[in-house]
Amino acid sequence: MDLSVTIAGIRFPTCVMNASGARCVTYEELERLGQSRSGAIVTKSMTREPRQGNPEPRYFSFPGGSLNSMGLPNLGYPAYAHLIPALRRFKKPIVASIAGFQPEDFIEGVRYMNEAKPDLLEINLSCPNIPGKPQIGYDMEASERLLQMIKAHTELPFGVKLPPYFDPVHHEAMAQILGRVGVSFLTAINSIGNALVVDPDHESVVIKPKGGFGGLGGPIIKPVALANVRAFWKLLGDRMPIIGTGGIQTGIDVFEHLLCGATAVQVGTVLVEEDIRVFDRIETELREYLDRKGYRSAIACRGRLKEL
C-alpha cells in the first residue's frame, strides 16, 4: 500500500502529518516529529518575536473536541530559521508555518525562511486567537495583497492555511485568489474561531483568553472540514493539492478527507491527546481500510466521493 504523496514537487513518505500548533513549538518537539511516522515536520506558526502566548488556561478538552486559545506561543522567526537545517537529517519534508500581525512581518518571516530553506511554507491566514486581530483569511482583498507580496519575495513553494468558510461565495472568491496568486497548496481548515464552551457547574467559561472564546477543533468539526475540502476540490480539482485538517481521529477519517479531495491530511487535537504514537495507529488503520476497499494507494481514492 503506497501512502506517499507529492505536493509542489515534494514527496511526503506518508499522507498523514502534524497540524501546525500541535506538539511542534520547541526543537525537542520538532525532533520527536522527525523520529515519528508523521509524513512531515510542520512547525508551529512563527512570528517576528518569540511569544509566550495567551494566559492559561488556554486549552480545554471535552468529549468530541477541544477549545484552544494558545495565542501563537512560538520561538520567533530567527530561532526557527536556525533550527530548520538540523531537522533535515530526518529526511522528510519540513513545512514552515508563517504568521504575523502585519504584512511586513510575513515578509520578514519569508526572508528568514529563504535562508533556512524548508521544503514548503504554509502561510497562516487564520489564527483566531489574537485579541484585536481578525483572521486575515476572512478579508479577501487583504489576503490577496499579502499573498502577492509573499510571492514577490520567495522562490519557495508556499500554500495557505485557511479558516473555515460557510458560504459557497467565499469558497469561490478564495479559490480565484489562490489561482491568481498561484499558490502551491491550501490547507483547510484551521480551528473554527471564536467558539464558546460553558461549564454549567461553575457557571463559567473554560479558558481564560478573550473571555472564553477560542478555536474549536477535534471530531466535532469534521463535517465543516470535509465540506471545505470538498468545496475547494470542486473548484480547483487537480490544479491545487489540498491538505485536509479537522476532526481526524482514525484512519477512516483520513479516508473521508481523501474522498472529499484532500491529497494529504494533518492531525491536531488527536496528536495533543495521544502524542506521536498516534501516527502509527492512524497509518495502520488507513492501510487496512484502503486495502479492504481495494485501493492500492492513498491517492487512488482522492476526490472520489459519490453524490446522490
Q: So which residues are the catalytic ones?
A: 127
- Binding positions for ligand SIN, 164-203, rule CB under 6 A: 190-191
Q: Which stretch binds ligand SIN (CB under 6 A): 26-34, 119-127, 259-267, 286-294?
A: 119-127
The dihedral of CA 18, 267, 55, 105: what is its sign?
Answer: positive
Residues 15-74 that bind ligand SIN (CB under 6 A): 21, 45, 69-72
For 194, the 3-state DSSP assignment is strand
Is residue 137 a contact residue for ligand SIN (CB under 6 A)?
A: no
Nearer to ligand SIN, 54 or 184 (CB): 54
Q: How many helices (H) and strands (E) does the chain have?
A: 9, 16
The number of C-alpha atoms within 13 Å of 185 and in the hemisphere containing its C-beta is: 28
Torsion of Cα atoms, 246 then 249 then 252 then 256, to 10°: 0
Contact 298, 16 (CB under 8 A): no
Using alpha carbons, select from 220, 213, 191 the residue that is nearest to residue 45.
191
Contact 266, 245 (CB under 8 A): yes
Q: How far apart are CA 120 and CA 298, in angstroms?
A: 21
Q: Which is nearer to ligand SIN, 127 or 248 (CB)?
A: 127
The yes or no reply on residue 127 touching ligand SIN (CB under 6 A) is yes
Beta carbon of residue 28, minimum distance to ligand SIN (angstroms, whole number): 18
CA angle 296, 298, 301 (to 5 degrees): 85
Cell of 242: 489540498
Give start and end residues of each alpha helix (H) in 2-139.
27-35, 77-87, 103-116
Minimum separation from the CB atom of position 298 to ligand SIN (A): 26
Residues 274-303 that bind ligand SIN (CB under 6 A): none
User: Which residues between 212 and 231 bind ligand SIN (CB under 6 A)?
Assistant: 215
The β-bridge relationship of strands 94-98 and 5-7 is: unpaired
Q: In the set 18, 124, 245, 263, which binds ligand SIN (CB under 6 A)?
A: 124
Cβ 183 to ligand SIN, closest distance in Å? 17
Q: How far is the CB of 188 from ligand SIN (least distance, A)?
A: 13
Interface stretch with ligand SIN, choices 80-88, 105-113, 127-135, 170-178 (CB under 6 A): 127-135
Binding segment for ligand SIN among 76-84, 85-93, 122-130, 283-291 (CB under 6 A)? 122-130
Size of the site for ligand SIN (CB under 6 A): 14
CB 11 within 8 A of CB 160: no
From 252, 265, 191, select the one nearest 38 (Cα to Cα).
265
The stretch among 120-128, 141-149, 243-251, 297-305 that binds ligand SIN (CB under 6 A) is 120-128
Look up residue 172 and give its amino acid. Answer: E
Between 38 and 129, CB nearer to ligand SIN: 129
129 binds ligand SIN (CB under 6 A): yes
Q: What is the Cα–Cα distance from 175 to 171, expressed in whole angstroms? A: 6
Closest contact distance (angstroms) between CB of 290 and ligand SIN is 30
Q: Nearest approach, Cβ of 162 to ligand SIN (angstroms)?
A: 11
Interaction site with ligand SIN (CB under 6 A): 21, 45, 69-72, 124, 126-129, 190-191, 215
